[in-house]
Amino acid sequence: MSGGGALLPETTSNRLGLRGSRGPVLLSMMLSTAIVAMDSTILSTTVPTIVGELGGFESYPWLFSIYLLAMAVTVPVYSKLADTFGRKPVMLFGIGVFLLGSILAGCAWGMPALIAFRAVQGIGAGAISPMTQTIIGDIYTVQERAKVQGYVSSMWGAASVIGPTLGALFAWLDAWRWIFFVNIPICLIAAWLVWTRYHERLERHPHRIDVGGAVTVTAGLALLILGVLEGGNAWAWDSVWSIGVFVLGGLLLVAFVLIERRAAEPVLPLGMLRRPLIVVACVLGIAQGATLMGLTAFVPTYLEIGGGASAFIGGIAVAVTMLGWPIASGLAGRLYLRYGYRTTTIIGTSLVLVGAAGLALLGPMPDAWLIAACCFVIGWGFGWSTVPTLVAAQSSVEWRERGVVTGSILFSRSLGQALGAAILGAVSNAVIAARGGNENDPATIVQSSTAVFIGVGVIAIVHFGISLWMPRHIIADPAQGAVRADPQGGIDVGPEAV
């Protein structure tokens, strides 16, 4: 590819939207985000149909857990590879693996096979998730990025509604395999756009791949997250299995730290963890993930059993969280450019705290509309807080570190979801057990859910407190993300281009 071209000027040729040389790349990022997000929700309404054909009812929760687990633990490795070899090969690899997993899942002959192929999908999604955010950080300036992040975030909002609805449609048509086959054309279009329109200018020099770091961090994180997800479910918290999983996972992470201290090109540069902005962004990500899990995992059951609402109403009450998020994300850019990243983040965490407090206070009164309003406020707050922290972190580092920084923040959110599921689930189970263990008793579910919402409120307090530690002065070049126009109609990105 020719290295020619000039930096795109801040004129009409550089406006946001699906226009110009960056438009097709943005479209590819949105499509890729959509399929990853949709496949985390689309199975929720088709489990009875799948179990009816394949059997294995006792194993069906793994259809969700294995996908999220595989996606979460591979993010740090993919992020480092992107900073080493470029975003394009990692993105194309992720789309290809996700496509393969989708085809295999659609052809699954039994529950064990379907679970294994869902893991393949998760491995592909682990590359797609951080690469979409990193590429956006590469090709858009600080001023533009918030609005574009709103576009991409809207894909998660749409998936929270479209995924279960589409799954229910395929179940009704007795065609659940098309849940996976529908990904084929989307993956092909997204890959073609990346292949033809996204070009990178990389400095070619020998690399020393940190195999030891990659293996130990992946295995260690997988065991810890597995222990959190399955503790109290597949085995008791104090069982030999549970203790063994946590101990082995912890030892592997200790080995990972020792390896990283001596690695020439570490998967996760430990010096990065000494930067206050990166640490704050990651801790906020953990709190955001835990809060989100408190809503998505518990609100529907609370409204359906505790309040007598339909499954549709219960789903909509949670979906409005994801609807408020992208709207606020699109507006956040104006605020952080005028008042700063820290101020905007604090406003967002304050809104999350208000929504969580309302949820805790309304817990004894399962009114679907009031609960939905609280969820919307929480989602609105997430929109104000997640984008400024991500954009600030991306803008504070060079191209060569942006993938690792982005991946670390996204991984922290996944880790928060796993921790939230374990901690809040333990709270709920303890209350249910104390009231006799009847999971179908409305009063019991209302009380256990109220305890969970109080837990969400505590997390929101921590979330707000951490935002106060965000640095007041963040050095960021507003021109970061400028790209070169490629004579072939694409865009030219890389350390030399920017």
Is 235 in a helix, a strand, or coil? Answer: strand
Q: Tell me the pLDDT band of 485, cut-offs 50, 70 and 90.
A: very low
Average pLDDT over residues 389-418: 81
Distance CA(388)–CA(196), nearest Å, equals: 31
Q: Which residue, among 273, 271, 267, has the nearest Cα to 255 in the 3D structure?
A: 267
Q: What is the DSSP string of 272-339?
A: GGG-HHHHHHHHHHHHHHHHHHHHHTTHHHIIIIIS---HHHHHHHHHHHHHHHHHHHHHHHHHHHHH
Distance CA(11)–CA(9), nearest Å, equals: 5
Token pair belonging to 97:
């693996």
Q: Which residue, among 225, 182, 275, 256, has the nearest Cα to 422 in the 3D structure?
A: 225
Token pair belonging to 193:
């756009």
| CB of 415 closer than 8 Å to CB of 283 | no
Q: Which residue, among 34, 5, 244, 239, has the nearest Cα to 128 in the 3D structure?
A: 34
Write the pLDDT tens digit of every residue in 319-348. 787 777 777 877 777 787 788 888 999 999
The residues, any chain, with a CB within 8 Å of residue 485's CB and separated by 6 or more, are 5, 6, 8, 21, 491, 492
Q: Tell me the pLDDT band of 44, cut-offs 50, 70 and 90.
A: low
Per the confidence metrics, is the pTM higher than 0.85?
no
Q: What confidence score (pLDDT) does residue 352 get?
A: 95
Q: Tell me the pLDDT band of 2, cut-offs 50, 70 and 90.
A: very low
pLDDT higher than threshold 90 for residue 120:
yes
- Burial class for 354, CB neighbours closer than 10 Å (0-12, 13-18, 19+): middle
* Torsion sign, CA atoms 268, 273, 274, 276: positive
Q: What confidence score (pLDDT) does residue 72 get?
A: 80
Q: Which residue, among 123, 153, 157, has the nearest Cα to 391 in the 3D structure?
A: 153
Write the pLDDT tens digit of every residue in 435-474. 887 777 888 889 989 999 999 999 999 999 999 998 876 6
Q: What confidence score (pLDDT) does residue 447 get?
A: 92
Of the chain, the percentage scoring pLDDT greater than 90 comes to: 21
The residues, any chain, with a CB within 8 Å of residue 294's CB and separated by 6 or more, are 420, 424, 452, 453, 455, 456, 459
- Which residue type does 22 have? R
Write the pLDDT tens digit of every residue in 131-170. 988 888 888 877 777 678 767 766 766 676 677 778 878 8
Q: Which residue, among 285, 222, 328, 295, has the nearest Cα to 449 in the 3D structure?
A: 295
Is 199 in a helix, a strand, or coil? Answer: strand
Q: Which residue has the higher pLDDT, 81 or 370?
A: 370
The DSSP H or E segment spanning 429 is: helix 399-434
Distance CA(476)–CA(121), nearest Å, equals: 35
Q: What is the DSSP string of 107-126?
A: T--SHHHHHHHHHHHHHHHH
Distance CA(177)–CA(197), nearest Å, equals: 32
* Torsion sign, CA atoms 31, 145, 84, 249: negative
The terminus-to-terminus CA distance of the chain in angstroms comes to: 17
Mean pLDDT of the chain: 80
Q: Tell me the pLDDT band of 98, cut-offs 50, 70 and 90.
A: very high
